[in-house]
Structure 1
Amino acid sequence: MISTTISETLKDLLSGENVNVQLSVPQLVEKATTRGEAQLTADGAITALTGKYTGRSPKDKYIVEEESSKDNIDWGSVNRPVSTEIFDSLYNKVIKHLAKKDELFVFKGFAGADPESRLSIQVVNELAWQNLFVHQLFIRPSAQELAEHQSQFTILAAPSFKADPAVDGTDSETFIIVSMEKRIVLIGGTEYAGEMKKSIFSIMNYLLPLKGILPMHCSANVGDKGDVALFFGLSGTGKTTLSADADRKLIGDDEHGWSDNGVFNIEGGCYAKCINLSGEKEPEIFGAIRFGSVLENVVIDSETRIPDYDDGSLTENTRAAYPIQSIDNIVDPSVAGHPKTIIFLTADAFGVLPPISKLTKEQAMYHFLSGFTSKLAGTERGITSPEATFSTCFGSPFLPLHATVYAEMLGKKIDEHGAQVFLVNTGWTGGVYGVGRRMDLKYTRTMVRAALEGKLNTIETDTNDIFGLEMPKAIEGVPTEVLNPRNAWSDKKAYDEKANELAELFRENFKKFGSVSEEIILKGGPTA
């Protein structure tokens, strides 16, 4: 429960004459443009610049160390503790800072499309464009729901308030602090709107498992027969591309929960990367950017106001936020049944993982905990060869609880609902990055479609000698030489060396999960 002091100060803040509650999209667009916060683009969206912070600030993210939650948190480099004294001091400063603003903007809504498990939230912004962002990203209430709305969590977003590390106990001017006990998120020193979205996701990743619900950083869609599929994958693996299927309806593109009732979207909108966006490559996203959408750090022509999505001069992390209803082929409301197929996507620049393989439950838990993909040579300064990247549960920056909590829940769900899990490599084949070639997207689509249709559940397979993965011997429409990665390499010895190198990286990474059962390690990990 929120403490009496917090409750009273929030009530005082939100009762001020400068407070605008639940403004409409046109009103927020008007406010954002007339206040000089954003510009209107030729397609009707607004575009805002976020200054020097064009992405998340993970080193400035904290969780308050509180008696009611501290024993549940997996403390470390991701979940960094901060004292209640530091939180209380900053809270009071942020409240005073916001109270002095000419205008404040408040959004009331929900996280979680399932009414039985949703979280009532309110977001207080000093910037109108950020309030429009949360209006489009979270679930908007009906008139009756708004009248009955009682917030369970509050975000106070004050980007123009900068902390003094010497006084406030932070590492920089920026801070994102979550108090699970007081049900408050403080955000200061950064205008990057994604901090609000991901703060709520992190909170849901704490709260949902306590209710027996698995939170997931994945996209989800459903076929005409009600067959639900989940797509997990880190940036660059093709998650958005492969989950956007004209023959299937989108449940959501980024955050979901899996309860006893089935799968539900946590959000009410989409937050899509739009660098190099085009109508030809990604028509759904391109078409969704219209009046009411919010663009972040997208360069526009000064006269025509046409966005230049190919311009990454401000950042490669350009973004577009819009309500999920801006996409035609969706499930509304964003709820569906239990998944029959789960896809783990990886872009293996080592070129050694199979393009598709069937996973046992133990392998699924192992690869879920590993969350592997590759950074490519040239993508970051100093990277001269492919580097393995492991992000636990395909979302380690947002997991307050120990990773094994989520993995064990996934294993239980697989058992309960008979879901078939596949590992799909959208990366390289025939050699490492720079030698081999990128997996042909049409083959990947064919393989994924075959998996979704259940055609691979009983198919004859070969076993990969190094990773122990079951590889289909034949899939209609896919050359057989593609299905076994070793066969795609002309130098078989080079393949074995590179595959063993990656297998060892998996083992080394997995050492941090010391409490995981030996059965998962023996049956789920590399076998050679």
Structure 2
Amino acid sequence: MSINLENLKIKTSENIYRNLAVSQLVEFALENGEGKLSQSGAIVVETGKYTGRSPKDRFIVCQESIKSLVNWNDTNLSIDEETFNKLYNKVINYLEDKNLYVFDGYVGADEKYKMDITVVAEYASQALFATQLFRRPTKEQLNKHNTEFTVIAAPGFKANGKEDGINSEAFVLVNFEKKIILIGGTQYSGEIKKSIFSVMNFLLPQKGVFPMHCSANIGQDGDTAVFFGLSGTGKTTLSAVPDRKLIGDDEHGWSDDGVFNFEGGCYAKTIRLDAEKEAQIYNALKFGAVLENVILDEKRNPNFDDEKLTENTRGAYPVEYIDNAELSGKGQNPSTVIFLTADAFGVIPPISKLTKEAAMYHFMSGYTSKLAGTERGITSPKATFSACFGEPFMLMNPEVYAKLLGEKIIKHDTEVYLVNTGWSGGEYGVGKRMNLKYTRAMVKAALNGDLRKAEFEEHEIFKVLVPKDIKNVPSEILNPKNTWENKNNYDVKAKELAGKFQDNFKKFENVSKDILNAGPEYK
């Protein structure tokens, strides 16, 4: 049975609306003044002060049952049980005179590993978000629904920061023993999605499943590919393509049986969305979709180029809005893995092949550039390292996840490629962003097996294997040094970035020499 809200101490003098249809949730959201409809029928909401995740406001309740398993650090912050309980009671009291919108669903397309969830939302638009992003049960599944984790989202409740034992008015608190995620002070719906997936990323390795912050798709011959990368590196753009079926765009598990999607929808960045180049995403932003912080013109057409509110504009929609989605949410064991990075230094090759050890090294490094708007306070690209290409969502030590990756690569003869969707011909501000047409051609060559037959040369600094020739790609751009006007400047920047890799990797004290030696090196 779905959880009884009274068991959570949630009571309200108003109405509780449970598992409403999409059209009903849209009506309530409009009635409540939470947003307005775009010309295409998507509901457009503004999330206020918080237009991205607030990583310094996410806490995990430190309990004996999980204490030794969590990788406590700047992204996995701890609070005590008492602090959680006090804030929980304040939120429950706040909700006493509010209409509440409840969604019962699940995450995990594989029946063996799925987790039933319930989302209790103050806003109808956030319940709509949950309905479209998580997996929706059939009537039969709903009758058997047994809530394992509950999200309570109260964006209108503002905390008192230090007085309440946290950092600001916003908070995301994860309590594993009570199986509750408490969210307040922020209307950014990504917090709902990411907190649930963080829980999955913690629980699944304990069952032998490799959880991945990645998108995944299936080719016409049934071959599965996964794409790792932080927000803005092109996961959604490169995986939602006409000639391959999309499994999902953000979170998956890799079990002995293959890949399975956690979610039932997509949460795509929409800034500068191009109707021609990214038609799959563009066409999915219709009735039932939720647009966050997108500016509408006088005719209510979205202006995807307008970044007045944030660069982190978003569109949430169910995966079935993609024409060729794989609705089962499952695929075979991947034959190809793609690591995506947006290199602001402009020195990483546009595509390179990785050995198993190099794959583990780059997976643990998770290098990219944070793009403007992805998190509060980021206004221009900034070089960063995020272990597992999603450190804020990986609660265990990165070495746990890297070990699982290495085992999968060997067991399934999986090829791994590092793809730079960032800058070429110079660093950010000098060079240009990699041409999407060429990136697509490179990825296609990796997926269709062409690169298995290619000739490679080792990069002198990054030690990755760079192909000499790829169909429909100018050969001179494959070695990034060729695209720089001043070759000496390239060497300087490449060595600077290599040094950053080395400095970052010092925190991994227990890795083997084989993995350590697979990273960048220069004299």
Aligned to 2:283: 287
1:315 and 2:310 correspond: yes
2: CA distance between counterparts of 1:382 and 1:306? 28
| 1:13 partner SS | coil
1:250 and 2:246 correspond: yes
User: Which residues of 2 match residues 445-456 of structure 1 at below 5 A?
Assistant: 445-456=440-451
- 2:40 touches 2:287 (CA, 8 Å); kept in 1? yes
**Which amino acid is the alignment partner of residue 442 of structure 1?**
K
User: Which residues of 2 match residues 499-518 of structure 1 at below 5 A?
Assistant: 499-518=494-513
1: CA distance between counterparts of 2:261 and 2:243? 19
- 1:363 touches 1:525 (CA, 8 Å); kept in 2? no
2: CA distance between counterparts of 1:165 and 1:253? 34
Deviation for aligned residue 1:15: 9.1
User: How many residues are treated as equivalent by the alignment?
Assistant: 521
Q: Deviations over 1:436-482 (max 9, x none)?
A: 44433322222211111111123221111111111112223333322
2: CA distance between counterparts of 1:395 and 1:251? 19
1:181 and 2:177 correspond: yes
2:364 pairs with 349, 365, 369, which one? 369
Aligned to 1:54: 51
2: CA distance between counterparts of 1:87 and 1:464? 50
Aligned to 1:330: 325
1: CA distance between counterparts of 2:344 and 2:95? 47
| Compared CA separation, residues 20 and 524, structure 1 to 2 (3 A) | same
- 2:132 touches 2:316 (CA, 8 Å); kept in 1? yes
| 2:275 partner SS | coil
Aligned to 1:350: 345
1:159 and 2:187 correspond: no
User: Which residues of 2 match residues 84-483 of structure 1 at below 5 A?
Assistant: 84-101=81-98, 103-301=99-297, 304-374=299-369, 387-483=382-478
2: CA distance between counterparts of 1:307 and 1:378? 18
- 1:376 touches 1:433 (CA, 8 Å); kept in 2? no
Deviation for aligned residue 1:526: 3.0
Deviation for aligned residue 1:255: 1.0
Q: For structure 1, which runs of at least 5 residues remain unmatched after alignment? A: 1-5
The root-mean-square deviation of aligned C-alpha atoms, in Å, is 2.5
1:25 and 2:22 correspond: yes
1: CA distance between counterparts of 2:381 and 2:36? 39
| 1:456 partner SS | helix
1:77 and 2:66 correspond: no
Q: For structure 2, which runs of at least 5 residues remain unmatched after alignment? A: none
1: CA distance between counterparts of 2:493 and 2:107? 43
Deviation for aligned residue 1:308: 2.4
- 1:46 touches 1:292 (CA, 8 Å); kept in 2? yes
2: CA distance between counterparts of 1:381 and 1:71? 30
Deviation for aligned residue 1:380: 11
TM-score, normalization by structure 1: 0.93
- The percent of aligned pairs where both chains have the same amino acid is 58
Q: Deviations over 1:407-444 (max 9, x none)?
A: 11111111111100011122333333344444333222
Deviation for aligned residue 1:114: 1.0
Aligned to 1:3: none
Aligned to 1:35: 32
Deviation for aligned residue 1:376: 7.8
Deviation for aligned residue 1:342: 0.6
- 2:241 touches 2:280 (CA, 8 Å); kept in 1? no
1: CA distance between counterparts of 2:186 and 2:343? 33
Deviation for aligned residue 1:133: 0.8
